[in-house]
Amino acid sequence: MDSQTQEYQEYYVPTQSYFPIVASVSLFCLAFGAASVLTAVENTGDMGMIMLFTGFILLFFVIISWFTKVAAESRDGLYSAQMDVSFRWGMGWFISSEVMFFAAFFGALFYIRVFSVPWLGGEGDKGVSNMLWEGFVSQWPLMTTPDPSLFKGPAQVVDPWHIPLLNTILLISSSLTLTLSHKALKLNNRTWTSIWLAVTVVLGAVFLYYQVLEYHEAYTELGLTLSAGVYGSTFFILTGFHGLHVTIGTIMLLCILVRVLEGEFTGKKHFAFEAVAWYWHFVDVVWVGLFIFVYIL
């Protein structure tokens, strides 16, 4: 305990900051703007677009300035070892909450596959619900929905052994290259840090390119759309939110790459790098879940 007191360094409590309030205003603009655009209640459509746009600008501004400020504070040596632990816990629990966000969609997928679709098809404990659409046959992927006049099922589903397999290879190798980059940074080998990091960013971008290609194919050739019954719903919500996370992750990696090239981080102190790496590995793990449960099975 005594050694703890001796090592004690004051915990940095930042002075007043305008970031939180601007960020809140930006969220308000985004939420209100998006809702107005979607509902398009008389005359609020245009206003909605303006608010949405303002919200994005403010958010962009806040994110840039907030992170710049944090990086500057870190360079000024304001962050003690204890502060570093705070950041680690913070990022860790943030990722946990993200895991639960995906868990909601995976849970929906499992419930639909294991319970609701078989029940609608007359199987199992609650098979009596088959009376709603008599003759509906339970199958997965759900090619024919109970009421095809409302939700026309997909003609085909995505073949897991083409683009999805390629994407799996891309993402898993990107996790590998990111780890190599991290190892290089720990050894203070900045050239290889940047090279492997750049490769990771490229792999992420190529993944996204193929994801867009797959969506395009799904919509134009396979008839697999958001409104193609519950298969399309679960497919797009899971892969869509994953793709969004890959996009965010790639942007974050790019920012880290810029900071590495500008000579920031040391072999010992580089939490921003690590946080983004954690996030990237999390996105990778989610993809493995997707590949298995959405594409293959």
Pair of tokens at residue 187? 């050894």
Q: Cβ closer to another protein: 120 or 184? A: 120
Binding residues among 43-82 for another protein as defined by CB under 8 A:
66, 82
Interface residue with another protein among 56, 61, 67, 94 (CB under 8 A) is: 94
Choosing from 74, 130, 145, 177, the residue that interacts with another protein (CB under 8 A) is 145
197 binds another protein (CB under 8 A): no
Give 262-271's long-range contacts (Cβ < 8 A, gap of 24+): 263/190, 264/71, 264/75, 265/185, 266/188, 267/185, 267/186, 267/187, 267/188, 269/74, 269/84, 270/185, 271/84, 271/87, 271/88
Closest contact distance (angstroms) between CB of 143 and another protein is 10
Site of tokens 């046959």: 137
Member of 126, 162, 183, 216 binding another protein (CB under 8 A): 126
The residue within the footprint of another protein, chosen from 19, 67, 219, 271 (CB under 8 A), is 19
* Region binding another protein by CB under 8 A among candidate stretches 21-29, 163-171, 198-206, 246-254: 21-29
CA 290, CA 164: separation in Å to the nearest integer?
Answer: 10
User: Half-sphere exposure of residue 234, counting CA atoms within 13 Å on the CB side?
Assistant: 23
233 contacts another protein (rule: CB under 8 A)? yes
Q: Shortest Cβ distance from residue 239 to another protein (Å)?
A: 13
Count the residues of the shown chain that bind another protein, applying the rule CB under 8 A: 78
The reply on whether position 39 binds another protein by CB under 8 A is yes
Stretch that binds another protein, among 26-34, 186-194, 207-215, 260-268 (CB under 8 A): 26-34
Answer yes or no whether residue 227 interacts with another protein by CB under 8 A: yes
Q: Could you tell me which stretch among 8-16, 154-162, 252-260, 265-273 binds another protein (CB under 8 A)?
A: 8-16
Nearer to another protein, 76 or 262 (CB): 76
The amino acid at residue 290 is L
> Which of 46, 72, 114, 147 lies at the binding interface for another protein (CB under 8 A)?
147
Question: Amino acid identity, residue 280?
Answer: W
Report the distance separating Cα 125 and Cα 294, nearest Å.
25
Closer to another protein by Cβ: residue 151 or 196: 151
Main-chain dihedrals φ then ψ at residue 95, nearest 5 degrees: -65, -35
Q: Say how far apart CA 212 and CA 209 lie, in whole Å.
A: 5
Q: How far is the CB of 165 from another protein (least distance, A)?
A: 26
Q: Which amino acid is at 77?
A: G
Number of Cβ atoms within 10 Å of the Cβ of 290: 25
Among 72, 75, 77, 111, binds another protein (CB under 8 A): 111
DSSP state of 282: H
Give the DSSP per-residue string, 114-146: IIIHHHHTT-STTGGGGGTTTT----SS--S-S
Among 237, 251, 254, 285, binds another protein (CB under 8 A): 237
What part of residues 167-196 is at the interface with another protein (CB under 8 A)? none
Q: CB of 205: closest distance to another protein in angstroms? A: 26
Query: Pick from 255, 180, 239: which is nearest to 207 by CA?
Result: 239
Q: Is 125 in the site for another protein (CB under 8 A)?
A: yes
The answer to whether the CB of 121 falls within 8 A of the CB of 132 is no
